[in-house]
A and B are shown apart, each in its own frame.
Chain A
């Protein structure tokens, strides 16, 4: 198995000029020629819709595919908090440099300087673009844009639309794309799922998709293919991701030769509603902003079964305030999550299943009054009440960490191209900007930066080579073969006829990945998972049951196909987690911690990106390292004490 050498194409010279210089060096395609190029965009969330709209505006012919019934359902819509930008409207000392530094540090020094710097620069343009599209950001009384502060930052740089920033930004991008659909420059395919990428002579030349309503499998060719298909938190079964979020596009691309970077870098969000019972289908996030006024505690004694209001101050442990006096309840996500796990594992958990910790607003209510607390958080209080039937103004909320975002993803160079020429990955689908931990309010920023402002420039440099060449026709053998492989796969899934449901297997997979490759990982546990998972996967293939046929809407079949990819990805996560003998960001290896339980990085060995190549055996991928050079920031140990 030969692998491609990793060339990040990071521009030389001072960081502040890198993107400008790089853009200048890229080949341009003249406007009249752009219409000769066809680009396929897979996924129409923030990254995909913004890319499709912008490419079409530039003159490219775009085919955009989504498995949803409309692009407006994409999971970007669920992002609550906000979007960062270094506008410094608050005059509180923010700057591109500071946003860059916060993001690099928040990522625990495991991301590329040049990419992150570009992201911080483009944050400014995103706010301008979104505002002009009519995104109703929060305003001050004078009519100017309002900001708030968010975890991991000491300046107020987060722009927001109530608790629905993702919804409004997604609708902005969706509407920009809809305009192009109306103009006929974007062809939109809904309820059509990407199943595989087609390669010819090593390049991406098209895709094979499946019509979810008729089961029809068709091929589509283009000069380049762009994957904007989000992250893979649903490998854990229970996560804050929407039900249909999946890894199929990035995993199938990986199987065709695209390197997968840092699969073990996953983010566990500290404030979610704990699972109630086994039927739980997904977890709901409670915005992290609650930690501004809520105090986290558990009963000091594990055997204390009294209702929370009967536990006196003296019998409570406000463990975040105790252990991290400087940041208290506002420590970053990974730190807060692990601390909650330590308390629950030690038997201090609360609620009927003892699987949560308290987030208490009693003091805030006493200090500010119920009304002031309601003004800030009423929609969240109401959402909590709706789900749990408990009143968080009266009793403390119960919260627990849940998988939320994946920093790992397809390896891409500075142009956002994967190791397969002609195949790009944008947004959460790539690995590029968040290192080992993502800061709050930066996912929306990255998805839109990639789609509006990076790819539309960089893609020209690649396609320019193919001027006067039509896309490879879909009658080519390469398409026929990929289609045939897919047909065989689908009929295999339909004929399993076993004794267990697909969801049942997914739940079991999720439990294993959560236990062994979740909030903390150990060599022993990862080895256990790597022995167990291939067997479980085999069992799935012989004992799962997919009713129905492949010629009409079959939601179980869709799930089964996606689950196959989650199985293999789970193995890659464990391999990566086992190889990375350090603790950094969301990746915590129990062997690498201080006596107080804090993460210990190994900069000597692991200041690098792990890029894995498919070998045919999901437990034995091939590693290539991309060293990370820090020339503008100093590697420090994150301390929030």
Chain B
């Protein structure tokens, strides 16, 4: 198939950036979207041009490194699919495809399609963990966890930290990412002790970087791991409780 690609090119964080158009011919429908970019990049290199920078690593939808806006949609047209798992068979011969980086104030563009998502790490550092120093753990089977609880915790823990939720949100809010981690840990008995401190710290840190959630639900639709917005409701409830409980410590 033949594709017209409109790709965002930006030399660096302070560069203005803009779209460039490339004709990509002989695209196989079995190629992944990123392999199509690889092929274009090799061609650009040989033509003496600079290849399009983009992040990717595992190319099987688990590391969260990849992620671009494709025709205005985070990770492209296919539901529950990270950019690296998208194949060209999702497009038609002759299509024009627009590819851009995540757009969010907290995710500065570094170059072309590469953005800085390190604000996510700040949220985890603030409280996205269970405090248990190495060696201090009790025997694993001392604490039974109901199967259903473990499964729900896992659903939340499946987040890959890609940032699509933020990119898809009209407010650039990071509620879904933050709630996924807060819920994963708070649902488990092991994470119970720190539940409210954790939520408060994570949410407060999140608000330093990201916009406010007004319940659009775009995040859930864009999420390649189908993290449910129900977790946001849970985090919000915990946050209100935390404010009450932790008032004494403020």
Contact = CB atoms under 8 A, between A and B. Distances in A.
A77 B58 contact: yes
Given A68-B65, A73-B63, A547-B48, A53 B118 contact: no
Given A452-B134, A547-B48, A136 B55 contact: no
A143 B146 contact: yes
Contacts of A138: 150
B101 interface: no
Interface stretch (A382-390, A437-445, A486-494, A526-534): A382-390
A282 B60 CA distance: 9
Contacts of A131: 137, 140, 143, 190
B144 interface: yes
B207 interface: no
Contact of B154 (A140, A162, A181, A388): A162
B62 A78 contact: yes
A69 B67 CA distance: 13
A69 B188 contact: no
Interface in A82-114: 87, 89
B219 to A, nearest CB: 19
Contacts of B6: none
Interface string A164-185: 1001100100111011011000
Contact of A501 (B28, B35, B46, B145): B46
B185 A134 contact: yes
A137 B130 contact: no
Interface in B21-35: 28-32, 34-35
Contacts of B32: 281
A587 interface: no
Contacts, number: 209
Interface stretch (A397-405, A548-556, A610-618, A628-636): A548-556
Given A179-B129, A243-B57, A284-B60, A547 B144 contact: no
A501 B45 contact: yes
Given A69-B65, A547-B48, A144 B134 contact: no
Interface string B105-146: 000001100101110110011111111111111111101111
B91 to A, nearest CB: 14
B140 A133 contact: no
B153 A68 contact: no
Given A131-B140, A178-B129, A281 B65 contact: no
A552 B29 CA distance: 33
Contact of A134 (B31, B133, B191): B191
- Chain B CB count within 10 A is highest, among A134, A182, A501, for A134
B59 A136 contact: no
B143 to A, nearest CB: 7
B244 interface: no
Interface residues of A, number: 80
B38 A503 contact: yes
- Chain B CB count within 10 A is highest, among A162, A188, A555, for A555
Interface string A526-565: 0000000000000000000101100011011000000000
A624 interface: no
Nearest to A176: B129
A167 B124 CA distance: 16
Interface residues of B, number: 77
Given A70-B118, A387-B87, A553-B53, A242 B58 contact: yes
Contact of A279 (B35, B129, B147, B185): B35
Contacts of B17: none
A235 to B, nearest CB: 17
A123 B29 CA distance: 45
A282 B86 CA distance: 14
B192 to A, nearest CB: 10
- Chain B CB count within 10 A is highest, among A141, A174, A190, A282, for A282
B40 to A, nearest CB: 11
Nearest to B140: A131
A96 to B, nearest CB: 15
Contacts of A70: 117-118, 120-121, 161
B238 to A, nearest CB: 16
Given A69-B65, A133-B132, A136-B150, 18 more contacts: A78-B60, A128-B138, A128-B139, A129-B137, A131-B190, A132-B138, A136-B154, A145-B141, A168-B157, A171-B157, A176-B129, A182-B125, A190-B121, A277-B31, A281-B38, A389-B29, A501-B45, A555-B51
14 contacts: A69-B65, A69-B117, A72-B161, A77-B62, A136-B150, A139-B150, A162-B154, A168-B154, A175-B128, A181-B125, A277-B31, A281-B38, A389-B29, A501-B42
